[in-house]
């Protein structure tokens, strides 16, 4: 559904933010896009959505180059930016105006999702708090029934209840025809939800693996229970898979991937280069 | 093949979005400019009295064309204004699922027809109010001139750019190149305008007003009687439009990578 071939992206040719990315993202998955500040997560989302054109290489979204911003492609894609700025109109006007462009928009679903978020505001959209604007746009994005939904820091600004609702709603909405990409720093908010992770570091995708693969190949637990940890932090540690199926601790994995000594072994294990015991 | 009904619906919705997102800012500038129109008329009257016995020749058509040009300028300013928000505004038309042709056509229609009419309507209404309340056509601008502030009026579009540029700088996520370009352009404008304020007022040249200057420049350039005259007006046109041209160039140059 989304293909990146030697993709170099950024805002200036001399200083690309991402270089030579190659990957393929499939439907039925919720991808977590992880990386440090400025690592290029948002740039990648901009490139996939067609906001910016690649500096080199190719991007294909539904077999189309997204920067052409074709009607057919845009109908199947919706992007929720980190800073959701909405116009000074009512929620009803927004839905009436913007659903015009989305033929599969489901107003009932939209209302249902808003109700689950306890969103009952009558204010103009630009007067809403960040969290409420996000709730509103999450509902709009999901109700559009677009096949590809890109979320940039969706849980930033949401209260605890809304984060839970967000996870529930996304889990219900994903199906074999849809693909969600969530870029976030708040990994604990979404780790139960993800089916795959993509970690960006040093302008590259250093890890792309399903959560099942991560759980099979790596073990997460207390330092004492892992004989030879690849990386430990406090009482938590990550080691080679030893047959146990443990809950993935994404925060710990992220830290391990940013540690010079444990980074390469973990990448090798997850990519299958290193055979497990 | 696009359904005609759906296409029409999308087109009118795009127009509605353009208007609903921009009406406030568009309203401010003609409102302020309208205050100056009595002065334009008065200056023409004075000039005509001095040079010949010709009558007041500023016509409604002239004003409409002036408003049209002015509308285009303001819309360009608005476009630059929007660039700062496009990155984050989910209601930007950039990613709306419709054809690029419809997006372009709706922008052109707004720029060429709707906004100028809208501008001129507000302009005319406020002009009438100003005359009704003051009774003297040029009193407000005379006051401004007395205080030496007349250069502020033609600089309003640039003040908007300046404001937006600073706003852009305030937000770290926005493109500093655009912001710096905006500030440099404003600086260039003020450098050009300030030395001329006195001569404009002393000579009672009609074209102290930005929109009118631009309109006249275009008109005289295309109807010049001699090469020298054309050249002079071409230089004037350039002086008055250079900041906007450069700014617009910067906008399009960085647009793709900035949005």
Q: What is the CATH number of the domain that holds A182?
A: 3.40.50.300
Average pLDDT value over all residues in chain A: 88
Q: Which of B91, B99, B257 sits opposite A87 (nearest CB)?
A: B91
Q: Is residue A277 part of a domain?
A: no
Q: Is residue A194 part of a domain?
A: yes
Tell me: pLDDT of A66 over 80. Answer: yes
Do A170 and A220 lie in one domain? The reply is no
Contact A101 B100 (CB under 8 A): no
Q: For chain A, what is the domain count?
A: 2
- Other beta carbons within 10 angstroms of residue A50's beta carbon come to 23
Do A165 and A263 lie in one domain? The reply is no
Q: Which of A11, A86, A100 sits opposite B91 (nearest CB)?
A: A86
Report pLDDT digits (tens) over B206-229: 334 444 454 454 444 445 444 555
Contact A52 B96 (CB under 8 A): no
**Parent domain of A234:** 210-271
Do A60 and A145 lie in one domain? The reply is yes
Identify the closest residue of chain B to A146 by CA–CA distance.
B97
Mean pLDDT, rounded, for A43-63: 89
Q: Is residue A153 part of a domain?
A: yes
ipTM value:
0.79
Q: Which of A69, A85, A100 sits opposite B88 (nearest CB)?
A: A85
Q: Does A105 reach chain B within 8 Å, measured CB to CB?
A: no
Tell me the DSSP string of B218-253. Answer: HHHHHT-SSHHHHHHHHHHHHHHHHHHHHHHHHHHH
Do A111 and A239 lie in one domain? The reply is no
Do A180 and A75 lie in one domain? The reply is yes
Residues 6+ apart with CB under 8 A from B40: B58, B206, B209, B212
pLDDT, greater one: A184 or B247: A184
Identify the closest residue of chain A to B173 by CA–CA distance.
A83
Interface of B with A in 39-98 (CB under 8 A): 85, 87-91, 94-98
Q: Is residue A276 part of a domain?
A: no
Do A195 and A242 lie in one domain? The reply is no
Average pLDDT value over all residues in chain B: 53
Tell me the DSSP string of A173-212. Answer: H--TT-EEEEE-S-HHHHTTT-SEEEEEETTEEEEEEEHH
Q: Is residue A152 part of a domain?
A: yes
Do A130 and A252 lie in one domain? The reply is no
Do A46 and A155 lie in one domain? The reply is yes
Do A214 and A196 lie in one domain? The reply is no
Q: Is A214 left (phi over 0), alpha (psi -120 to 50) or beta?
A: alpha
Residue that finishes a domain, picked among A176, A201, A226: A201
Q: Is residue A26 part of a domain?
A: yes
Q: Is residue A81 part of a domain?
A: yes
Residue that finishes a domain, picked among A155, A182, A201: A201
Minimum distance, in Å, between the CA of residue B165 and any CA atom of chain A: 19
Q: Does A40 reach chain B within 8 Å, measured CB to CB?
A: no
Block residue for tokens 């679903």: A109
The answer to whether A33 touches A182, Cβ cutoff 8 Å, is yes
Do A155 and A249 lie in one domain? The reply is no
Tell me: pLDDT of A8 over 60. Answer: yes
Contact B95 A51 (CB under 8 A): yes
Size of interface A-B (CB pairs under 8 A): 71
Do A149 and A230 lie in one domain? The reply is no
Q: Does A62 reach chain B within 8 Å, measured CB to CB?
A: no
pLDDT of B65 reads 45
Structure tokens at B111: 């720029």
The answer to whether B92 touches B14, Cβ cutoff 8 Å, is no
Q: Is residue A45 part of a domain?
A: yes
Q: Per mean pLDDT, which of A159-168, A237-246, B186-195 is the most reliable?
A: A159-168
Q: Does B259 reach chain A within 8 Å, measured CB to CB?
A: yes
pLDDT band at residue B233 using 50, 70 and 90 as cut-offs: low
Residue that finishes a domain, picked among A201, A227, A244: A201
Say which DSSP state B89 is in.
B
Do A55 and A109 lie in one domain? The reply is yes
Contact A52 B259 (CB under 8 A): yes
pLDDT, greater one: B148 or A226: A226
B88 neighbourhood in chain A, CB within 8 Å: 81-85
Tell me: pLDDT of A59 over 80. Answer: yes
Mean pLDDT, rounded, for A115-125: 86
């Amino acid at each position: 559904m989304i293909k990146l071939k030697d993709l170099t992206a950024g805002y200036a040719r001399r200083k690309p933010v991402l270089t030579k990315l190659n990957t393929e993202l499939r439907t039925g998955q919720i991808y977590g896009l992880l990386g440090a500040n400025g690592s290029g997560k948002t740039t990648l989302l901009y490139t996939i959505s067609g906001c910016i054109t690649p500096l080199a290489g190719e991007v294909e979204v539904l077999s189309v180059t997204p920067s052409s911003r074709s009607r057919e492609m845009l109908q199947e894609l919706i992007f929720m930016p980190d800073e959701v700025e909405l116009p000074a109109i009512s929620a009803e006007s927004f839905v009436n105006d913007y659903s015009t462009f989305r033929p599969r928009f489901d107003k009932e679903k939209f209302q249902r999702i808003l109700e689950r978020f306890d969103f009952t505001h009558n204010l103009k959209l630009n007067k809403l708090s960040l969290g409420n604007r996000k709730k509103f746009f999450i509902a709009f994005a999901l109700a559009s029934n677009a096949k590809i939904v890109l979320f940039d820091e969706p849980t930033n600004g949401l209260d605890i209840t809304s984060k839970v609702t967000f996870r529930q709603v996304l889990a219900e909405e994903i199906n074999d025809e849809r693909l969600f990409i969530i870029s976030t720093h708040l990994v604990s908010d979404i780790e139960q939800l993800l089916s795959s992770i993509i970690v960006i570091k040093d302008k590259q995708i250093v890890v792309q693996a399903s959560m099942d693969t991560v759980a099979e190949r790596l073990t997460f637990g207390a330092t004492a229970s892992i004989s030879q940890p690849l990386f430990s932090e406090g009482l938590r540690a990550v080691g080679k898979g030893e047959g146990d199926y443990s809950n993935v601790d994404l925060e710990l994995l992220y830290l391990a991937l940013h540690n010079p000594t444990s980074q390469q072994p973990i990448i090798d294990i997850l990519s299958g280069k290193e055979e497990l015991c | 093949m696009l359904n005609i009904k759906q296409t029409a619906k999308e087109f009118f919705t795009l127009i509605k979005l353009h208007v609903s997102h921009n009406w406030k800012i568009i309203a401010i500038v003609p409102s302020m400019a309208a205050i100056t129109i009595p002065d334009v008329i008065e200056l023409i009257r004075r000039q005509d009295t001095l040079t010949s016995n010709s009558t007041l020749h500023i016509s409604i058509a002239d004003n409409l064309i002036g408003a049209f040009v002015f509308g285009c300028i303001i819309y360009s300013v608005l476009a630059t204004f929007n660039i700062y928000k496009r990155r984050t505004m989910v209601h930007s038309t950039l990613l709306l699922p419709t054809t690029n042709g419809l997006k372009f056509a709706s922008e052109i229609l707004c720029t060429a027809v709707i906004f100028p009419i809208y501008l001129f309507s507000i302009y005319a209404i406020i002009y009438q109010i100003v005359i009704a309340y003051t009774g003297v056509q040029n009193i407000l601008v005379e006051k401004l001139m007395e205080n030496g502030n007349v250069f502020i009026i033609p600089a309003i579009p640039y003040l908007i750019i300046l404001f937006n540029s600073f706003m852009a700088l305030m937000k770290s996520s926005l493109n500093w190149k655009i912001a710096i370009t905006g500030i440099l352009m404003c600086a260039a404008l003020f450098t050009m305008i300030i030395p001329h304020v006195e001569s404009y007022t002393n000579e009672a040249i009609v074209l102290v007003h930005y929109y009118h200057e631009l309109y006249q420049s275009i008109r005289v350039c295309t109807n010049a009687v001699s090469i020298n005259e054309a050249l002079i007006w071409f230089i004037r046109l350039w002086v008055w439009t250079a900041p906007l041209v450069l700014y617009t160039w910067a906008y399009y140059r960085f647009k793709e990578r900035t949005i």
